[in-house]
Each structure stands twice: as structure tokens, then as C-alpha cells.
Structure 1
């Protein structure tokens, strides 16, 4: 009996040893090679929320939570939380032993600073929520924070991902000019990867954080984000194996089908549940001709959105019916029609009372690759058919953000994330209080409807889902009627990766995740 028992124990120990050693051999080490497209202007998510910044910075900075594919909150820097029965306060309990990359401890002071000071001043999206709904952010002790609201806010628990609410180091930024702080050139976060090197025009390198608070992680030694100027070269790089991962937008949509068919390549459209991106036109509504709603309606009638989906986005998306994408909470498909009808478009121009020949439209090009170049060219042609003169003005990602945020354009194209709940991702583009300079993700078009502002507030504070639906349906109909933006495409972003890359897309924020769990199978 003793021999038999010893034999069973030995087999169990052997199995455990093999499992542990196998896991180590399988997961530890290696470099993951990706593309960042276009090259971001900065890697500080509190200062810039463009997609390339979020992609890279999501490995450096963290937030209190992350989210499952069905948008359920999961622990992040906060290990647990409680919500008051009346929904008016939230208490977060932070993980212990978390350190910034410079060795300083991460504490409740950093959370209070981030949510009370830095983000309300610098973050185009977060400041809307924090100013409007948050009454106070209080330190209970070093590892506990209590947030009190001014009124109930149903979407509050969805805002704590690293692009929306990155935790920033108080000891580095407090009392400084945030925009010119030297740390902006060498980011310091709590994430599994630390800033190593940025060779402009070539690559950004991040290295493993040896003191990361999740024991044994991350598995990878290095992340390399290559800067490759044109989409054809990016496709070739993946095809030849010099990069391991393609993010939505890295290559022209026309190449997706061919690259997906390559051997040992995985494909998924998961990981965008939080973002639900939408492509649209931004009209500068402060001045003629786009201050005239009939002109905006004419432009929409002149745009063949079925052609845009099929021939410009190559089927990766569907026609937008309004300001909410079809996957957004409280989406209502029964919106007033904005069908392609050139005859109607010309009639609307006549009714508007303007002479298109009197205007040369400054169309600020969106510098995010070939798909957008084609869309901008098509938009130019559509406006020219209405009699406008159009100049396409090229810029880089930083220039686009600066000019758009400072209203230096007549028309531009972009896409934006909707963040699960319209109170987080859509409201910011339409409320009068967010007509502020400095961010391309505010109400840069200048749309203002004070009565609708009240409906937005009521919808965000309402706790009854049926009543929220009624309010958001009212909002959607009015925004479509006013053409507050030129809604084009509910986008679909694919991720392609080498089959040896494991755990790549595990949450609703997909490739914007920290990658602490990603490994390369050996």
C-alpha cells in the first residue's frame, strides 16, 4: 500500500513538474512585432486619445478595470469594488504592491489625482463625464478610493479602461504643465511593459517590466511597433513574416481576404465590443456653407454609402443609419432615411439659397491609410458634383488632431469609438458644453441644441432601460434630422496574427489591452 501511494504521489509530482516546466518553456520570452499606423504624436493617453496612442500606451498605462466581451467589468488596478444601493457612490479597492516604472508605489493618491485633476483638464472624453457627474474623488486609505456622483449615471462602470481613464503618476505630473512635462517623452506607467526606445519614422520599442505587480508576467520580453509608411508595404511585411500582428486599419481592406488565407494565420473580429467604431464626416457648422442644414443634407444625399461600404471599405462594415452604430446600447434602426439621391441633393442645394461656386471647401484629409485616402477622394468628387470647389489638405496624425481640435477646417473625415454606452461615446460629440478647443474628440463641429442637451442629461441619469431607450430614440431622430455629423459606416475591424501568438484578444478592448498574458508558442 505504501509503494502504491508513493507511486501515485510521484506520478502527480512528475505531472505537475512537466506542466510547470512546459508552461515556462512555452510561454516565456520572445519579441512580438506589430505595426503602429499612423505613427502617434505622443504616447500619453491622458493627453492624446487617437487610436495609435491608445494601442501602444495600453501596454504602458493601466486603469482600474478591464472588460469582458459582453462589457462586464473585470479587475484591473482595482481588485474589487462596491456600488452604493442608490448608485451615488463607488468604492474601489486597489491591488497592493503595484509600482510605477520608476519604482514609486501606486496608491489612492494617484487615482484621486488622475480623476480629479489631470484627466478633467486634458482628456477630451473623460472630462465630460468627470465634470458633469462626479462630485468628489476621495482617498479612504492608501489602497481605497471612494467616488461620489452628483446624480445617478448608468454608464459609470464602463469608463475605466486605459484609453478612457488611464491612471497617471501624481509624483511626476502634479504641479507641472502637463503638455510640456519631460516625462511625456519617456512615459512612466504601471503596465507590464516599459518604454525603451522610439526611433521616429521607424519603430517604438517597449521592454518587459521586471517588477510588474502580476507575478510571473508579462511573458514576452519585448514589443516592437514598426512604423511602415504605406499599406502595401505593411501587407508585404506580414506576408513575409517580419510582423506578427495586423490590427484593423494596418493594411488596406482589399488585402484582408488574401492575408487571411495564408497558412498559420488566425483571424478574428472580436475585441472591438467596447469601441464599436463609426466613420463619419465632420462639418464645420460655425460658418457657411455648412452652417446650413440643407447643405449638410445635400452632401449626405450626394454620398453613395453603399458604394463606400462595398468599394472603399471592401465590405468590412455596414451603412450607418444615424449617430449610434448598430452594436451600441439603445440603437434604434428606425431613423429618417438619408439615401443616395443626386437629384434630391441638387434640389436641397437650391433650397438652401447658397451658390456652391462661391465656396472652396478646405477638406482636411484623414491620414490613416489608403482606405481613408479613397474616401476623401470620393467625398471631394461628390461635393464637386454639387458645384463646390474642394481642396484636399494633407497632414500627419498630429497635424490632423491639432487642426481639427482647433476648428481649422471646413470638412474632415474621421472615425471614433462609441464605448458601449452613448453617454460615454456619443454624447461628447453633440452637447453644447463640449464645444471646446484642443481635442479632436469633442464637439468640434459646433453643433448646439440646448433643448437636446437636457435630453442627453436625462438619458444618462435615467436608471430605467425602457425610459433610456425612449430618450435616446428622441436624440437619434433629432441628430439625423439636423445632420449633426455625416454618418457613413459602422466599421468592422479584423485582427490577423500568426497562429503561434496566443492570448492576443481576450477582452472587449482587444489589442488595446496590456498584453500581460500574451505569449509566443514555441
Structure 2
């Protein structure tokens, strides 16, 4: 039993992974799969999954993918190149279906088991797009001709390890396939229930839930200590950070000095102390030292960002804005910023820490604007926010910084897949093109360091604390769970291939 803590109170039956609708059935990645996977146990390298192999041409513009020959959809039909060309073609038909922010421009069938994907420029570092569940491989014989704006795919057929056995708004029941190409499972069913961060703690303690993603302050004392053999609480680095995003297309956050002033007065140490994650304050680049130490510029490596009220007030002075009555005022216009965050993740307390700091050091009153996860995500996509908290991460440095590309920019009101802050900057685009267009380590390192300086100095977003997946497990019924010291896959249900590999290793407890 998996407790999903950020799904609201009920599930919506919508397995159309390309749908522009915000509300979808969670964990469709256990039914539909991607061509590639990101291996977080091996430096976030992109590796084959449904594809057996992948190879770029010398220019880095055309990727050749050889498909596995043993893959079947759950209706028994074999996976073919036609299915792949059809699936990867969906985001090309309508920007509304490009929820994964893909940048390739052409897909072609080479033979029955081989597909080529073409980009308009060198894309060595963009291959992780094909590891996203936002670009699933679906059966052409069932999807062709459907209106993907409205069709909800209520009876999903995929290549994944599970099928939908039963749908109810309060519980999904998935059945493990006996003919899955990746091998068998001892587990026969996976049940997913919607719950809340507070409720799931009691459910874990009572043994009603076996597994959840949960940042639990005090878990070591409140959970692990009660049964150290079976109560597991683990963290796995994502390689990115939780960051404060500025809506740079909306005044006053189009002013770099305003962004710097707010970034300089984020009390990161107070936040991680409250989170009970000491030492996880993010550096100014958004790159985690443990993973990217060799790439990070020396002046940023190991740097802990402290509150610097004097520097922040100087930046505010340079912006020409004054704080009057708690508002930012300039040229007869006044602004009362709002901070939007995910209530499902219990972020209220941390938002309040930031808000109090801005009031204390700048005299600025920022309003708290918490929202359920699905609502917040739609606000971020359409740009309906001033300040917001979201993750910055991806496969490798290019994956992390690709969200700053102007190619992912959309005007306010239109949905963007990744560039929530609406960042447009020629120097950023040039560095990204250099990073993504080369396979030479020296060139990519130099480009990555240019991007580090842009994030640190121009502050399109400001990293707050390093991001981890926090996993809580009650191992009384099932054994074989990975640990951060020994894992080949993260026990994270939202990472389809990793969830599959995790579940395949579980054995019923004696």
C-alpha cells in the first residue's frame, strides 16, 4: 500500500499523459513507460529503458534508438517503431501536448525496431527529455484518431509492469503483469491511496501503509526509534534544489536588484533547521556539491548563503524602489508581493520564515498564498504568481539549467512546461547552446560555469535548500528495500523505472 500525500482527497480518472489538463491519475508511469531512464545511482546518467541502445551522430543532432525486441503492450501487441514515432510525434502536433518541454523537431522510422530523433541543433545534453514520463510510449493502434484535448484514456494499455485493476476516487489498485518484459514480481498488487502528510504518519505507525514519500520532521524519534528493524526513513539526493522563483515577466521582479534583495534575505539556515535537515542549505548555483563538485566554480563550491541585510538594502536602493507601508513603491506604483507554495507538502511554516525575514530586514510585507499541489502547478505553468517555490533539477547540469532557455518561454497566461519564471536572456541562451551542443568535457564545463554565474548573479531563481526524496517505509510485510548506502534505483514511485526496479526486489516477509 502506497500513501500518496500530494494528491488531494480523491483521484481523477485520466490516464492521458499528454493531456494539457492539470488533473491526471497519479503514477501512470507504472502503466506507460519512457524510452530512457535517468540513473540517480550513477551520477544521473541517462540510460536505455524501452530502447535497447542509443547513439548520437557526430554532429549531435540525430539520435538513433534501437528498440528492445521483447516488449509487449498489456493487450499482447508488440511494441514497434510505429508506436514510438506516433508517441514522440504527439508533442510536435500541438504545443499544448508538449507538457515535457521537448525540443526535438522530427521523428522517423528507420526500420521495424529503429527510430531516429532529430534536433535543430546539437542536443547531446537534451536526451534526458526522452526519459520523461511526459513523453510516454503509447500504443498507436488505440490512441490514433483520439482527441487528446478531451480523451482521458480511462482503460490504459501500456508497456509498463502494471495494469489498472480497479479505479476508485479513494484508491487505485494496480495488478502486476506476469508477462512484463523486465521480469516478474513477487508482489501481485499495488494499492495507492490519497492521504495527507499528517495522516500518513499514523497510517505508517499502524501498518496500514507500507510506503510513502514524506519529509517528516522528527522521524528518527517519532518513527524509526519505535521499530528500528522495520521503520525506515531515508533520503536520496535529486541533484537539484528547492528554489524561490521570481516571475521575471511581472514587475517588480523584472528588476535584478529586487531579486537580489529578496534572495539575500532568505534565512536558509533557519529553514533547514526547522526542516531538521542541517547542512542542506543550497549554494547560489543550485548545483549540489556532493554531485557536481568538479564542475562548480571555486568561489561557489561549499558556499553557505547567509542573510546579508545590509547588502540587500543596498540592492533595493540601486533598484530605485522604496518600501512604504510594507509595499514596494516606485514611480507612483506600489506592489504587495505574494509567495505561492505547495500546501500539500506542509510548506506553510517555511514560507512564514521567509516572510518574517523580509519584513524584519527590508520592512516588506509579503503575503502567504498557499495552494494544493495541482493548483499551484497550474499557476506556475501559466505564470499566475509573483514568487513561488519549486524544484530546480534534472539529469546533469544541462538538465538542471535547461528550464532557463528562452525556447521554454511562454507569455503570461500560456502554459510552459519548465520555464516558470519566464526567463529570457541572450547570455543564458548562448551558454545553454554551448553546453547542449558539445560532447567535449572542457567545453561543457566552461558553459556550465557561465550558467552558474548567471544564476548566482542575475538570480532568475534563488536556491533555498538542496532537494532530496524522503522515503518512509514500514518493512513488516515486504523486505528488500534499498538504502541510500546501497541502491541501484531510488524507491520513488514517481520515477517509473526506479519504482519498477524497487518493486521487483521486494519479497514477502516471513
- Per the normalisation by structure 1, the TM-score is 0.81
Of residues 139, 154, 177, the one that matches 2:147 is 177
Equivalent residue for 1:206? 174
Tell me the matched-pair count.
Answer: 474
Structure 1 equivalent of residue 382 of structure 2: 406
Q: Contact (CA 8 Å) 1:268, 1:495: kept in 2 or not? A: yes
> Do structure 1's residue 255 and structure 2's residue 219 form an aligned pair?
yes
* 1:145 to 2:115 alignment: yes
Question: What corresponds to 2:406 in structure 1?
Answer: 432
Alignment match of 1:349 (pick from 309, 316, 325): 316
What SS class does the counterpart of residue 180 from structure 1 fall into? coil
Unaligned runs of 5+ in 1: 1-32
Q: Decide which of 112, 127, 142 is 2:101's aligned counterpart.
A: 127
1:314 aligns with 2:314: no
What residue is the counterpart of 2:428 in the other structure? Answer: 452
One of 349, 358, 381 as aligned partner of 1:374: 349
Distance 1:491 1:72, change over 3 A: closer
**Distance in 2 separating the partners of 1:110 and 1:493:** 33
Aligned partner of 1:521 in structure 2 is 508
The correspondence for 2:451, drawn from 436, 458, 475, is 475
**Cα distance in structure 2, aligned partners of 1:316 and 1:221:** 41
- Tell me the CA shift for residue 182 of structure 1: 2.7
Q: 1:443 to 1:350 in 2, by over 3 A?
A: same
1:119 Cα deviation after fit:
6.8
Which moves more between the two structures, 442-451 or 480-489?
442-451
Return the alpha-carbon distance in structure 1 between the equivalents of residues 2 and 245 of structure 2: 30
Aligned-residue CA RMSD (Å): 3.2
Alpha carbons of structure 1 residues 313 and 263: separation in structure 2 relative to 1, 3 Å: closer
2:208 corresponds in structure 1 to: 242
Deviates more, 1:94-103 or 1:81-90: 81-90
SS at match of 1:280: strand
Of 243, 250, 267, the residue aligned with 1:287 is: 250
Question: Cα offset for 1:347?
Answer: 3.4
Matched, 1:99 2:75: no
SS at match of 1:339: coil
Q: How far apart are the structure 2 equivalents of 1:178 and 1:57?
A: 16
Q: 1:421 aligns with which of 382, 396, 399?
A: 396
**Alpha-carbon distance in structure 2 between the residues aligned to 1:332 and 1:84:** 31
Which structure has the greater CA radius of gyration? 1
Q: Output one character per residue of 1:269-293: Cα deviation in whole Å (capped at 9) or x when no partner.
A: 5765xx4241011111222221221
- Would you tell me which structure has more helix in proportion to its own residues? 1
Alignment of 1:330-345 (within 5 A): 330-332=295-297, 334-335=299-300, 339-345=306-312
Counterparts of 2:418 and 2:373, CA distance in 1 = 17
1:111 is the counterpart of 2:84? yes
Whether the 8 Å contact between 2:126 and 2:398 is mirrored in structure 1 is no
Question: How far 1:453 sits from its partner (Å)?
Answer: 0.7
Query: 2:134 and 2:125 mapped to 1: Cα distance?
Result: 13
Q: CA–CA distance in 1 between the matches of 2:266 and 2:116?
A: 49
Query: In the alignment, is residue 191 of structure 1 matched against residue 160 of structure 2?
Result: yes
Are the structure 2 counterparts of residues 423 and 122 from structure 1 closer, same or farther at C-alpha, using a change threshold of 3 Å?
farther
Q: Distance in 1 between matches of 2:314 and 2:338?
A: 23
Query: After the TM superposition, which of the residue ranges 304-313 and 397-406 deviates more from structure 2?
Result: 304-313
CA positional deviation for 1:376: 1.6
Q: What is the distance in 2 between the residues matched to 1:54 and 1:484?
A: 32
Measure, in 2, the Cα distance between the counterparts of 1:72 and 1:492.
17
**Take 2:152 and 2:218, find their aligned partners in 1: how far apart are those partners?**
41
1:363 paired to 2:350: no
Q: Secondary structure at the match of 1:394?
A: strand
Q: CA deviation at 1:141?
A: 2.5
Question: Which residue of 283, 286, 291 maps to 1:323?
Answer: 286
Cα deviation, residue 514, structure 1:
4.2
TM-score after normalising by structure 2? 0.82
Distance 2:454 2:318 in 1: 20
Match of 1:130, SS?
coil
